[in-house]
Structure 1
């Protein structure tokens, strides 16, 4: 997680680096581009789609008031389903969920700036509710929108990003795409963290980036995209800023034996492969579904 907007803005303006809102991960951003799969329109489900590789762009990402995010779908989502937006739990407009807290079906009218391939804002999308939000075991918020995938694509020519339902692999080339900053970071999955602890929160099996993904405040909630498949494999959420041990803005790694490792300047994301199993027909949340391991209220 990262420093508040006002403090980050002041610090970066003084440094000549620009503004950094809310929470995410440190240092100057890099812009990079690489292939991603974009999915052509289908009549029913993702399974019937065909993928064509193209350079990474911003289509399908969104900007929030304090974070980044993306319009997502699952492998079995239908075009007629209400669209979903993925961001971090700590980006929730009502404040950070407490440790152990899980929020479901909470009313929301939050707005999102939908970006096209060049990063221009082409529309404002609006939530109907918070479908799911937590900072326990993972760091995610999933909003349900008032429009379907088909309606968004018909109006703006923009398709949702698909969330992979398999565990990411170490060494994979990835892109972190920030809708807030309109910046793309390029690096690899360095490995996985048994437990990532930051302040009062603990996350399981987190993704650790190689150092090239030096994400900054405002990139929280950015989709992490596998270059080879074009699918979302994680959601960007934090980094160790000052070298402190397990404090807010300074997460530490804890292995299965309890050994703590601090990696200053290294940034992290939370895996998303476990999310699709928790959503059924109509993109309806079902925490009791077979294979669903997300924390329950």
Structure 2
């Protein structure tokens, strides 16, 4: 999980797409960071700007230390309070403990809403953390003080829809970082039965091909299917130094307990299981049929 970039300043590590919970990064001064600037700020290698398809920054957001996106579910009503998706390790209150699940916790966090070009066009505010955990997955979902319809009317920006079916290996994807205003394109390489990093363990994690060299600050970025434009995962960690199952160096564990380390490879947590846990009014219902998210 790349720790929020504030931590990255001290550890030069994780932030949105690599080991240990994403670390927040210092606020970028330009809409697009050069490789040199990113390298200096995050202390990690970066790849050349990827070749992009139709995916852009519309609907993504920047947090103080991470990335995120305004999301909706297939059946969300336009009049429902809008939601923001990021990582559990990006919470302003710090990393949730293993086994901890946060539900309906008051929050006044703000998010910078980006348009398709990556320009900040508005500041959105939360009134609560609807759901957050680092157990089985690494996700946080904030409820905003405004609706999808209001955002669309004021800024012409629609929320990203979360796909409600399991992603497929080989799919072309883009990781869209609102923090860095940077896009990373690659493919779904496959899935890790268990991904273990420090004290945390995640189930059925999505593994990128090597082209997605995400860095600190990209934690919480939506992983978007290039063909459909839907969110299939939330970017959260990567193995930075070849370490085994330590913070910033997650390892894969198969069903038989065999451990595999893939240095330089980054991961995301799937999001297809989330829609079943929300009503059309975006009310969380962890007891709903088909909802498999960890419960408090």
C-alpha distance in 2, partners of 1:158/1:20? Answer: 30
Equivalent position of 2:216 in the other structure: 217
SS at match of 1:170: coil
Q: Which runs of 5+ in 2 are unaligned?
A: 14-25, 27-35
Change beyond 3 A, Cα 1:87–1:3:
closer
Q: Which runs of 5+ in 1 are unaligned?
A: 36-54
Q: Does 1:231 align with 2:230?
A: yes
Change beyond 3 A, Cα 1:7–1:165:
closer
SS at match of 2:185: strand
Q: Does 1:78 align with 2:77?
A: yes
Q: 1:28 aligns with which of 26, 46, 69?
A: 46
Equivalent position of 1:42 in the other structure: none
Trace 1:1-297 onto structure 2 (pairs within 5 A): 1-3=1-3, 5=5, 8-9=8-9, 17-20=39-42, 27-35=45-53, 55-297=54-296
Change beyond 3 A, Cα 1:129–1:6:
closer
TM-score normalised by structure 1 residue count? 0.88
TM-score normalised by structure 2 residue count? 0.89
CA contact (8 A) 1:74 1:276 kept: yes
CA contact (8 A) 1:30 1:185 kept: no
C-alpha distance in 1, partners of 2:65/2:7? Answer: 13
C-alpha distance in 1, partners of 2:147/2:5? Answer: 32
Aligned-residue Cα RMSD (Å) equals 1.7
Count of aligned positions: 273
The structure showing larger relative contact order (alpha-carbon pairs under 8 Å, at least 6 residues apart) is: 2
CA contact (8 A) 1:29 1:183 kept: no
Q: Kindly state the Cα deviation for residue 19 of structure 1 after the two structures are TM-superposed.
A: 1.5
C-alpha distance in 2, partners of 1:89/1:95? Answer: 8
SS at match of 1:285: coil
Q: Kindly state the Cα deviation for residue 56 of structure 1 after the two structures are TM-superposed.
A: 1.6
Q: Kindly state the Cα deviation for residue 74 of structure 1 after the two structures are TM-superposed.
A: 0.2
SS at match of 1:220: coil
C-alpha distance in 2, partners of 1:141/1:29? Answer: 28
Change beyond 3 A, Cα 1:79–1:203:
same
Change beyond 3 A, Cα 1:195–1:32:
same
CA contact (8 A) 1:198 1:249 kept: yes
Q: Kindly state the Cα deviation for residue 7 of structure 1 after the two structures are TM-superposed.
A: 6.0
C-alpha distance in 2, partners of 1:146/1:66? Answer: 21
Q: Kindly state the Cα deviation for residue 266 of structure 1 after the two structures are TM-superposed.
A: 0.3
C-alpha distance in 1, partners of 2:80/2:47? Answer: 35
The structure in which a higher percent of residues are strand is: 1
